[in-house]
């Protein structure tokens, strides 16, 4: 994803979602492994996270144990403003 694409997503209300996925290893179901996933997503419905979880359950052999996630908007309404002006150094 390009920088312009990421900025457009942030301005549309997307934030960075990080999920810690704990899953059972396929060859050793008694052992748990951690996978970290990050993507721009929209709270509170989290469509990208749910698509990834659906993909995991259909295509990955490791059975899910738990998913913990956090979400943070990188640009909040009070942090973005249009500034008109010019600064000259010399």
pLDDT tens column, 36-83? 999 999 999 999 999 999 999 999 999 999 999 999 988 766 655 665
Of 82, 80, 76, the C-alpha closest to 14 is: 76
pLDDT band at 7; cut points 50, 70, 90: confident
Residue 25: pLDDT above 80?
Answer: yes
Between 28 and 73, the higher pLDDT residue: 28
CB 69 within 8 A of CB 17: yes
pLDDT value for 3:
60
CB 49 within 8 A of CB 17: yes
């Amino acid at each position: 994803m390009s920088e312009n694409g990421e900025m457009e997503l942030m301005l549309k209300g997307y934030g960075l979602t990080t999920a810690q996925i704990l899953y059972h290893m396929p060859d050793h179901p008694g052992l748990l492994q951690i996978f970290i996933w990050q993507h721009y997503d929209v709270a509170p419905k989290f469509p990208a996270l749910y698509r990834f979880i659906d993909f995991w359950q259909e295509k990955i052999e490791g059975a899910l144990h738990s998913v913990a996630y956090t979400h943070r908007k990188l640009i909040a309404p009070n942090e973005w403003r249009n500034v008109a002006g010019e600064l000259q150094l010399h």
